[in-house]
A and B are shown apart, each in its own frame.
Chain A
């Protein structure tokens, strides 16, 4: 039996596409880490909270195009509140205190989400909304969940859509960071808090912005993920997938998060099929990504693109 190239390509493409989704979640971590030096433990619950807000709104009969901006607005308000009541009082405290605060934040949001909404499992058929929203006369059925045959390869149309959305988000963020004034001030803050204050960059405004942007990313990532795993507390676990991604890419690098996501996405698919067969174990997909991360860490402790501390001698 010869090597099945079509199947192999399918795996690669599928892996790349799920990789983009990992990247999107990982970027949420990277943003917060870059700007304030803390690992945001609450990222997963933010994802859940954002997706749940959206789902409950639509279940309540709110139109898709209204629910989306309203959920976004909620996350922006959330970001401002976090800055005001968590970051500002704890500014200049040890990083461990801040990390513990995000653990507390995670528990708070989880409770809040259950209190405001509920803890039931919600299905989200994003495709249904999109079908209604994006259906156009030219019969552009690409955004409907279905399989398209392209070069004999089967690809889920929703995956294509998710990849486009996630990819666009990543692109916008990259441009924002490199080209705009605000992006530059964000990078300055991540480099040196004290110097940033000394030149008149308002830390509180930068932090509020970062948390708000992270909230919006959490919403988009939450919705894309929810399509696959439903809106429930399993969504929090989806975020665990982003951990090996940031380990590989480096906590401080957006390009790192992207490449890391792609490596993990492809790696775990290939590992599952080929390595799993080889060692005779099924379902290694769940831990194989951590194994990849471990191998990378052995050789590149600060990740592929992590900032190397510049030291002059």
Chain B
């Protein structure tokens, strides 16, 4: 059990006490893994990540059932601040850079939880090493940088807290395709060289599966499929529904199959 970093045990999340967003999600992130969370809009990917970083209360959401454990410890009573301190850092969907702060100031806010300033300076240099693109723009206001650069700032900012796990929400959203590849490339490098684990929520299944070690497919607040990414990539239903492979005429389309039929074999 010791190699499990984050374990989500059958959680249910409700917003404003009435809207049931997650209906029992379980997943595990092993140390050193890149796990991707696939699914369409509104499937519950973002909610899952926010549950892990305890940002749900900020949107009037709560975990109504189940538990989340970080290194075997229940995170229920922890605040967002506590979680960052214990090594979980989230990169929000849509990047959420502090637009009126400079790029460098944005990065420095990530080191807020650490007192050691000399170390923060070193970390800053490390971030610039991974993201040379934003070093050039370090004095400009983050609001005026491109989408891809903002994504790098957001990831760099999360990195500054020296996390064990980064929850990366929709990194491909609204950025140029060639930059998407670059961002994922850096994620992989960080994973290899710095030993940071990632839980990536992504709609772009093709690229997410390419870089992830393991993947979960979420639909309507439930996990529909899970497995090593090569395995998922090879599955016909995943190919059609998430990777956009068209069916040839005559063949049965998975669109017509009732979802509970699709669901059964996945846990076999």
Contact = CB atoms under 8 A, between A and B. Distances in A.
Contact of A199 (B60, B84, B100, B141): B84
Between B81, B110, B157, the greatest number of chain A beta carbons within 10 A of the residue's beta carbon is seen for: B81
A112 B40 CA distance: 55
Max chain B Cβ within 10 angstroms of own Cβ: one of A185, A187, A195, A310:
A195
Nearest to B85: A200
Given A197-B55, A198-B80, A191 B89 contact: no
Given A181-B112, A199-B109, A307-B100, A194 B55 contact: yes
A312 B147 contact: yes
A192 B154 CA distance: 13
19 contacts: A92-B57, A92-B58, A184-B105, A184-B108, A187-B98, A187-B100, A191-B101, A193-B58, A196-B98, A196-B109, A197-B55, A198-B90, A198-B158, A199-B110, A200-B110, A200-B113, A201-B81, A310-B143, A310-B144
Contacts of B100: 187, 191, 307, 310
Contact of B101 (A187, A193, A197): A187
Interface of A is mostly: helix
Contacts of A91: 58
Contact of B80 (A181, A188, A200): A200
Given A92-B58, A193-B58, A195-B92, A200 B97 contact: no
Contacts of A92: 57-60
Interface string B64-95: 00000000000000011101110001111000
A196 B89 CA distance: 11
Contacts of A191: 98-101
B98 A192 contact: yes
Given A188-B105, A199-B158, 11 more contacts: A92-B57, A184-B105, A185-B112, A194-B92, A198-B90, A198-B91, A199-B84, A199-B157, A200-B83, A200-B113, A202-B79
Which of the listed residues B99, B110, B144, B161 has the most CB atoms from chain A within 10 Å of its own CB? B99
A194 B147 contact: no
B53 interface: yes
Contacts of A198: 53, 55, 80, 84, 89-92, 96, 158
A312 B158 CA distance: 23
Interface string A197-209: 1111110000000
B48 to A, nearest CB: 15
Nearest to B150: A312
Q: Which of A91, A192, A197, A200 has most chain B Cβ within 10 Å?
A: A200
* Interface class of chain B by DSSP: mixed
B138 to A, nearest CB: 14
8 smallest beta-carbon distances between A and B, as pairs? A200-B84, A310-B143, A195-B96, A191-B98, A200-B113, A202-B81, A197-B80, A198-B90
Nearest to A198: B90
Residue among B79, B100, B106, B143 with max Cβ neighbours from chain A (10 Å): B100
A218 to B, nearest CB: 26
Contacts of A192: 96-99
Interface in A292-313: 307, 310, 312
Contact of B58 (A187, A194, A200, A307): A194
Contacts of B90: 198
A194 B96 contact: yes
A92 B50 CA distance: 15
- Of the listed residues A191, A199, A202, A307, the one surrounded by the most CB atoms of chain B closer than 10 A to its CB is A199
B97 A195 contact: yes
Contact of B99 (A196, A197, A200, A310): A310
Contacts of A200: 80-81, 83-85, 89, 110, 112-113, 161
A92, A196, A312: most-surrounded residue (chain B CB, <10 A): A312
Contacts of A197: 55, 58, 80-81
A310 B95 CA distance: 14
A7 B57 CA distance: 60
Contacts of B81: 197, 200-202
Contacts of B89: 198-200
Contacts of B97: 192, 195
